[in-house]
Amino acid sequence: MKKLFTLVLVSVISLISVNANASEAFAKGDIVASVQVGIGSGFAQRLVGEYCVVDGWLDDKASLGVGASINSNIYFDYYYITTRTVSNYGISLTANCSFHYQFVDKLDTYVTAGVGAGYVPGIVDYIGLVGARYYFTDNFAVNGEVGYTNLSYLNVGVVGDSDSIL
């Protein structure tokens, strides 16, 4: 499964080109890809893609993005009756919508909501989080998110095109 995740990750990153301008962090037409890891009820891995559909709101500092994410998580269930721990694995695909607001140059802050389906035993995957991306260059950023997604409460990752990540 690790090899499959790596193959998908490299393939998607090599196909997606980031157009983000560091002074205008998320503008109409930008395509952003992010690779993330997270912690919460287990160890999460996420591959996120997002497209800016509209910008120019609220003094040209706000924009709206739509996208999708592929999420996987290894988590543990503890059974009190038998006092044993069982590891589980979940995978899901979610559709996301994000509201972005840029308070300062190079910093893209956002609120994301989404819903998805997949194999996450006993759980319908949904997303509700607050995040930020800081752009070091026009094509490379780091991001952090707090909220809930795929049994994870804290995610960190990198954002960029194939030249800046590989």
| Stated pTM of the model | 0.75
Structure tokens at 88: 């589980």
Q: Could you give the domains of the chain?
A: 2-165 (2.40.160.20)
Torsion angle of alpha carbons 129, 94, 142, 146, nearest 10°?
Answer: 20
Q: For residue 54, what are its two tokens?
A: 């509209």
pLDDT of residue 3: 52
In this predicted model, what pLDDT tens digit does every residue of 8-48 receive, in sequence order?
A: 444 434 433 344 443 467 888 888 999 999 988 778 899 99
Q: What is the pLDDT of residues 114-150, one digit of tens each?
A: 998 887 655 677 889 999 999 998 888 999 999 988 7
Q: Name the strand (E) or helix (H) holding 162.
A: helix 162-165
H and E: helices and strands count for the chain:
3, 8
- What is the rounded CA–CA span in Å between residue 70 and residue 93? 5
Sign of CA dihedral 152, 153, 156, 159: positive
